[in-house]
């Protein structure tokens, strides 16, 4: 990575619209967010192409012109001759105009090489990046761009190493691993020396897989402040892009003045990820990784890779928090404490309370452990008793009348208002949406309710303190999550 004093962070916002009216509107919005605007002219109707080019003469931001064929990720079929004609007869020139030209056309056009990006795209996987880089670096283009599809998060390693090589060789580069597994390259790229990163206008206008919203790059991930001293934390799971944990932790970093960033890490192979990107003794990535939140399906599997696990997590049989401490990985479970804290605040003592838990997975396991430690009497309910490895009752025929507390530890709405009739409290561990169907059924049955966001924040607060040694504001964390969830 670079120090904040030696780097330039650039966010490029692509504009890709089919008709001129939409193109004009998108350009106006892009100017508000972008350091550079990429005009994806392969998107626009051919009849509007000349008008679009004329519209961006004297544009208020530097622009990148792109006229990409479908085989390189463009939005329509373009013959080689069509592309050559565009670059030689229609493309604008100027000190604030960049050309992004594919490798096959480099010999046939005569751009201002000091403002040219020569690019290669692969949407199937990660080919030999060194070979492709060597080919592109032989051209006079100022910037080399390579974008490849990450099929697993460890594909980011090769992209990071490519950026490191280019910086050593004083070559400007844009290197991106596309897809959800590659998001770390988009957020951390500029701090490692990449020429720019791309950010979409909004959630629905991404022009490549895994492209992050431009506003989120700066407001959520604090892109401009990331440097070689930034502490890296993240959420490990499959999937993870739906999670509000980045909003929770990044808000806490900002409030407490911590130079840190929390990222989503979509991990399919937890073994390779821990070995090649996490463990201090074997990692291939030069970064200040400090902590991880672990979610499904890795809470049990990750345990075999840790150097120490707290006794509580061993008893529960699941780890949801990892701390990188010098040369070791330490494992904790903050789910149990996060689960119980809102209950103690709302209900008080749980001793001898009759509690029903719906589900038998990792979340249920932590809940059972925490409740029994508080002296509660717990009964498990599941849909298919034959598949359960622990004693439980069938959910379909259950009545929860007389229970002091009913906990939903499944992703679904597992019980009806008729079944919940007569229960006192109902606690849904699902936090998105805040108002779940299960909670609505419970209220209509006359139950007092508690939502999963309280648990999410409570366990995240403990994680934050393990990683930073600082006390986080639960209110700041809650408000950050609630804002995203629409409360």
The CATH 3.40.50.10860 domain(s) of the chain lie at 235-333+462-480
Residue 149 has pLDDT above 90, yes or no: yes
The three-state secondary structure class of 271 is helix
Please calculate the CA angle 137-140-145 and round it to the nearest 5 degrees: 45
- Please state, for a pLDDT cut of 70, what percent of the chain lies above it: 98
Would you say 378 and 368 are in contact if contact means Cβ atoms under 8 Å apart? yes
What pLDDT is stored for residue 3 in this prediction? 44
**What are 336-354's pLDDT values in tens digits?**
999 999 999 999 999 999 9
Q: What are phi and psi of 463, to 5 degrees?
A: -60, -50
Structure tokens at 456: 């999410």
pTM of the model: 0.93
How far apart (Å, rounded) are the C-alpha atoms in residues 453 and 469? 23
What pLDDT is stored for residue 186 in this prediction? 98
Would you say 36 and 196 are in contact if contact means Cβ atoms under 8 Å apart? yes
Residue 305 has pLDDT above 50, yes or no: yes
Would you say 251 and 258 are in contact if contact means Cβ atoms under 8 Å apart? no
Residue 179 has pLDDT above 60, yes or no: yes
Per-residue confidence band for 363, with pLDDT thresholds at 50, 70 and 90: confident
What pLDDT is stored for residue 4 in this prediction? 42
Residue 6 has pLDDT above 70, yes or no: no
How far apart (Å, rounded) are the C-alpha atoms in residues 106 and 100? 10
Architecture of domain 235-333+462-480: 3-Layer(aba) Sandwich (3.40)
For the chain, give the mean pLDDT. Answer: 94
> Looking up tokens 């108002």, which residue turns up?
435
Span 238-244, average pLDDT:
93
| Residue 250 Cα to chain centre, angstroms | 12
What pLDDT is stored for residue 7 in this prediction? 60
Would you say 438 and 417 are in contact if contact means Cβ atoms under 8 Å apart? no
Of the CATH numbers 3.20.20.70, 3.90.550.10, 3.20.20.150, 3.40.640.10, which one belongs to the domain with range 11-228?
3.20.20.70
The CATH 3.20.20.70 domain(s) of the chain lie at 11-228
What pLDDT is stored for residue 167 in this prediction? 96
Q: Which residues are catalytic?
A: 299
Span 94-103, average pLDDT:
95
- Whether domain 336-450 has CATH 3.40.50.12780: the reply is no
15-29, 233-247, 338-352, 377-391: the lowest-pLDDT one: 377-391
Residue 89 has pLDDT above 60, yes or no: yes
What pLDDT is stored for residue 487 in this prediction? 54
How far apart (Å, rounded) are the C-alpha atoms in residues 213 and 37? 14
What pLDDT is stored for residue 389 in this prediction? 73
**What are 193-221's pLDDT values in tens digits?**
999 999 999 888 888 889 999 999 999 99
**What are 257-279's pLDDT values in tens digits?**
999 999 999 999 999 999 999 99
Span 297-322, average pLDDT:
96
How far apart (Å, rounded) are the C-alpha atoms in residues 472 and 389? 38
How far apart (Å, rounded) are the C-alpha atoms in residues 74 and 273? 32
Per-residue confidence band for 5, with pLDDT thresholds at 50, 70 and 90: very low
154-163, 193-202, 278-287, 379-388: the lowest-pLDDT one: 379-388
Structure tokens at 240: 């993870």
Structure tokens at 56: 């961006």
């Amino acid at each position: 990575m670079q120090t904040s004093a030696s780097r330039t962070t650039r966010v490029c916002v692509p504009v890709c619209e089919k008709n001129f009216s939409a193109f004009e509107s998108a350009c106006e919005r892009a100017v508000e967010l972008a350091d550079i605007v990429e005009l994806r002219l392969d998107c626009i109707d051919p009849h509007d192409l000349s008008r679009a080019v004329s519209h961006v003469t004297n544009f208020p931001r530097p622009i990148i012109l792109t006229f990409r064929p479908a085989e390189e990720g463009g939005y329509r079929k373009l013959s080689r001759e069509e592309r050559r004609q565009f670059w030689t007869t229609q493309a604008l020139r100027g000190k604030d105009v960049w050309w992004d030209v594919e490798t096959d056309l480099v010999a046939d056009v005569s751009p201002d090489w000091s403002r040219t990006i020569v690019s290669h795209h692969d949407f199937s996987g990660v080919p030999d990046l060194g070979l492709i880089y060597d080919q592109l670096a032989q051209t006079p283009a100022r910037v080399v761009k390579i974008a490849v599809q990450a099929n697993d998060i460890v594909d980011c390693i090769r992209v990071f190493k490519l950026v490191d090589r280019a910086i050593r060789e004083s070559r400007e580069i844009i290197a991106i691993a596309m897809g959800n597994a590659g998001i770390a390259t988009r957020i951390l790229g500029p701090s490692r020396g990449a020429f720019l990163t791309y950010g979409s206008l909004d959630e629905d206008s991404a022009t490549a897989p895994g492209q992050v919203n431009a506003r989120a790059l700066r407001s959520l991930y604090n892109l401009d402040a990331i440097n070689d001293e930034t502490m890296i934390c993240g959420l490990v799971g499959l999937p993870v892009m739906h999670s509000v944990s980045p909003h929770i932790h990044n808000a806490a970093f900002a409030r407490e003045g911590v130079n840190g960033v929390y990222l989503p890490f979509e991990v399919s192979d937890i073994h390779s990820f821990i070995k090649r990107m996490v463990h201090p003794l074997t990692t291939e990535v030069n970064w200040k990784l400090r902590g991880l939140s672990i979610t499904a399906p890795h809470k049990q599997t990750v345990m075999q890779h840790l150097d120490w696990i707290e006794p509580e997590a061993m008893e529960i049989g699941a780890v949801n928090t990892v701390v990188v401490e010098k040369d070791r990985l330490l494992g904790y479970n903050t789910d149990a404490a996060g689960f119980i804290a809102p209950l103690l605040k709302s209900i008080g003592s749980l001793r001898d309370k009759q509690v029903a838990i719906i589900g038998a997975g990792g979340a249920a396991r932590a809940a059972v452990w925490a409740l029994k430690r508080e002296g509660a009497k717990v009964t498990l309910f599941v849909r298919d008793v034959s598949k359960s490895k622990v004693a439980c009752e069938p959910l379909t025929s259950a009545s929860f009348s007389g229970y002091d507390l009913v906990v939903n530890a499944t992703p679904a709405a597992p019980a009806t208002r008729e079944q919940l009739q007569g229960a006192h409290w109902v606690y849904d561990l699902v936090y998105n949406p805040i108002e779940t169907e299960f909670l609505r059924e419970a209220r209509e049955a006359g139950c007092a309710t508690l939502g999963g966001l309280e648990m999410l924040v409570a366990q995240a607060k403990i994680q934050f303190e393990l990683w930073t040694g600082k006390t986080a504001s639960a209110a700041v964390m809650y408000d950050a999550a609630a804002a995203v969830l629409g409360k």
